[in-house]
A and B are shown apart, each in its own frame.
Chain A
Amino acid sequence: MSTPIRFALIGNPNCGKTSLFNRLTGARAKVANYPGVTVERRSGMVTGLTKPAELLDLPGTYSLFVTSPDEQVARDVILGKLAGERRPDLLIAVIDACNLRLGLRLVMELKSLNRPMILALNQMDEAKRRGISINTAALSQAIGIPIIETVAVNSQGVAELRTTLDGYAQQSATPAGEQTLTLSDRQESVEALYAEIESIISQHVIQPAHLPRWQDRLDSLVMHPLLGLVVLFSILLVIFQAVFAWASPVVDLIDAAFSGLGSVIGAILPDGILKDFLVDGLIAGVGGVLVFLPQIIILFFFILVLEDTGYLTRAAFLLDRPMRGLGLSGRSFIPLLSSFACAVPGIMATRTIADPRERFITIMVAPLMTCSARLPVYALIIAAFIPEQTVWGFFNLQGLTLFALYFAGVASAALIAWIMRRRTSGREEFPLLLELPTYRWPMAYHLLMGLRERAWIFIRRVGTIILALSIVLWFLATFPGAPADATLPAIDYSFAGQLGHFMQPLFAPLGFNWQMCIALIPAMGAREVAVSALATVYAVGEESIDVALGSALAASWSLPVAYAYLAWFVYAPQCISTIAVVKRETNSAKATTFFTIYLFALAYFAAWATYQIASAIVS
């Protein structure tokens, strides 16, 4: 038997499916995409079984009559209709014991497919705490499916589930390319199905009439039109504070570790091309991007906590109306929030948006959220050109400038989304229909596993795309080498230098000099590399780059030029990874070309306007 048996977890969103997946697989998820579509495919091998068995974590779904790309994948996999994806041999339907009706409804629908299925009744501990009492044996008999009670927070019930799965694992897997099922047109009405569920529930389940009072009290605060916004903005403030302030010690540590590694290797190796390559190419390139790991982890920590507690959907509820005016909805909030750390995970998070038009607009404007890679560039230029003085009593002028740059990004995103919506108006609306799950205490294990997964995705990207780009850019900046009688910095003679000179006339209306143009080239790999590239072209020593480079820039750039450079970085799609992820998520060369051109055009225009206006004011 070559192919292992395949199990699939299926259930409503928020039913604790993914926690159960982590428990069963030891959180060893292989994250990829389903063939041909951009829905995340999570799979792993079930641990502790006598035979190998694969477990698939299907996207959360309410029904087989689908309304979003996510749900469609879940359905197609179950039916064996997704090309290149083998139909699961056994379905593990996961139901939140606190939300029985919705879960049972999906189960009854799945049951009509006549596929082997077992039912995991999840969150049993929480259900008991709320006074919900379920006669599991009788319920199992009534619906004709084996039921196992589980608590995903600890391993209770998971062991029993594993034993059951082991029994199934003894059977052989369906050979690849097996038959597909067809979904019969909805024969029985929703009403009839619900009537059946009601009768089952009334016989075997005792439910209290109300949710715990604190849940409703919390909601009346958090979802209050005004107080709710105060809560939301306070939370956002804490997140930003954490991402930028708490991360900095760790960022400095990673930075120091990489420069330490660089100098150690620099001391060991003889001078030459190998040393240059390792120190300036590899270590500086990879290290320069890896320093963002702490910020990304902190941001995702908050997003995961807010998601697990059930708060994020409340935020989406509050922001739905303001965002709808821009052609977006509350559902766009989470991808855009993620984009403040990095547009790549932000754009990937748009997969939960059902409306293709809204998803498109969200992808198009996500890079305008100021990502953490822009921060080093902003910090350098602000420190060099903006005096550190207090305005209006307590505002720091440098801080205010930074805020203005963030604001420019958000305001532009709003404007562009609005224009894009105008362009495509007159289309039919999509419903919001968002479940507001009950509040829960986040689970440490689940959080840790989620963070580990996100961190790995980022690290893998650093190890592949960014590594390759670092090598290419180092090559461009190193070859051909400077002649023996060179008077200018070596980079001036390299391909990158030549490219910079070649580009300069194009950027002359923006006030950019050739050094600035050169820095734009490696910044295509990652924006923050612009800082080290500027250090290279201005031939500033390795030590205390920030201070020395700052004064070098202050000496050679005029204020309007500095402002123009900042404006360029607000808009330019200065990051190949972002363009690559847009291509992957939209699956359209046309959309990707549009994305790249519109952002470059916007950057050019913004920098030009900034330069011209600032020059006029200064003179």
Chain B
Amino acid sequence: MNTALASEALIPALRLDQCRKGAHVRVTGLIAQPLFGTQDERVSLRLKELGFLPGAPLKVIGFGLLGSDPLAVQVNGTKFALRRAEAAKICVELVVVSTAL
């Protein structure tokens, strides 16, 4: 758990869309995404409902073909596909970095 604290201190605002494949992270919060316009609040709500809540453990399991988009993540044992626009709403902190990095 020390790693988590350390990385948080080093990279204060890491977002999910900046994570590498295989990264283990923990959700710290959700931020606004202007791309979604008036719907943004609804998107935040849905993300929370699906389990993207502060403290939730999260794993990046894969990327799509072009521009690493969309990305597949696993939260609480359930896998989801998110686009970068959605992933950029999710602030995270690193927990364990896989050897791939």
A interface residues, Cβ below 8 angstroms from B: 62-63, 65, 67, 99, 101-102, 105, 186, 190-191, 194, 207, 211, 216, 219-220, 223-226, 229, 313, 316-318, 320-322, 324, 330, 427-438
Contacts and interface: CB of A to CB of B under 8 A. Distances in A.
Given A65-B49, A429-B35, A433-B47, A318 B77 contact: no
Nearest to B37: A428
B20 to A, nearest CB: 14
B81 A434 contact: yes
Interface string B71-92: 0101011111111011000000
A63 B36 contact: no
Contacts of A194: 48, 51, 53
Contacts of B80: 433-436
A102 B50 CA distance: 6
The interface centre, meaning the residue of A99, A191, A434 with most chain B CB atoms within 10 A of its CB, is A434
B19 to A, nearest CB: 16
Interface of B: 35-39, 42-43, 45-51, 53-54, 61-67, 69-70, 72, 74, 76-83, 85-86
B73 to A, nearest CB: 9
Contact of A62 (B36, B46, B53): B46
B76 to A, nearest CB: 5
The interface centre, meaning the residue of A99, A186, A224, A225 with most chain B CB atoms within 10 A of its CB, is A225
Given A102-B51, A317-B64, A67 B78 contact: no
B70 A320 contact: yes
B47 A220 contact: no
Dominant secondary structure at the B interface:
mixed
B22 to A, nearest CB: 10
A432 B48 contact: no
A330 B81 contact: yes
A436 B46 contact: no
B64 A225 contact: yes
B81 A428 contact: no
Given A223-B72, A429-B85, A191 B54 contact: yes
A321 B67 contact: yes
B28 to A, nearest CB: 13
Closest 10 CB pairs of A and B: A428-B37, A436-B79, A190-B48, A434-B81, A317-B81, A223-B62, A225-B65, A321-B66, A432-B83, A321-B64
A191 B66 CA distance: 34
Given A194-B51, A320-B64, A321-B65, A207 B77 contact: yes
21 contacts: A62-B46, A63-B46, A67-B42, A99-B77, A190-B48, A190-B49, A216-B61, A219-B72, A220-B61, A318-B64, A320-B64, A322-B65, A330-B81, A428-B36, A430-B36, A432-B86, A433-B43, A433-B81, A433-B82, A435-B81, A436-B81
Given A191-B54, A428-B37, A433-B47, 14 more contacts: A101-B78, A194-B51, A219-B72, A229-B65, A317-B81, A324-B83, A428-B35, A431-B85, A432-B83, A433-B80, A433-B86, A434-B81, A435-B78, A436-B80
A437 B53 CA distance: 20
A320 B42 contact: no
Contacts of A220: 61-62
Contacts of B64: 225, 317-318, 320-321
Contact of B69 (A229, A321, A433): A321
A226 B65 CA distance: 7
A67 B39 CA distance: 10
The interface centre, meaning the residue of A207, A320, A429, A437 with most chain B CB atoms within 10 A of its CB, is A429
Nearest to A106: B49
Contact of A191 (B39, B48, B70): B48
The interface centre, meaning the residue of A65, A216, A313, A436 with most chain B CB atoms within 10 A of its CB, is A436
A99 B76 CA distance: 9
Given A225-B65, A321-B67, A428-B36, A316 B49 contact: no
A219 B59 CA distance: 13
The interface centre, meaning the residue of B61, B74, B81 with most chain A CB atoms within 10 A of its CB, is B81
A315 B53 CA distance: 27
Nearest to A223: B62
Contacts of A437: 79
A543 B50 CA distance: 62
B38 to A, nearest CB: 7
Contact of B79 (A62, A320, A322, A435): A435
B46 A67 contact: yes
Contacts of A229: 65
A410 to B, nearest CB: 18
A219 to B, nearest CB: 6
A431 B83 contact: yes
A223 B60 CA distance: 12
A457 B85 CA distance: 39
Contacts of A226: 65
The interface centre, meaning the residue of A190, A316, A322, A330 with most chain B CB atoms within 10 A of its CB, is A190
Nearest to A229: B65
Contact of A224 (B36, B39, B62): B62
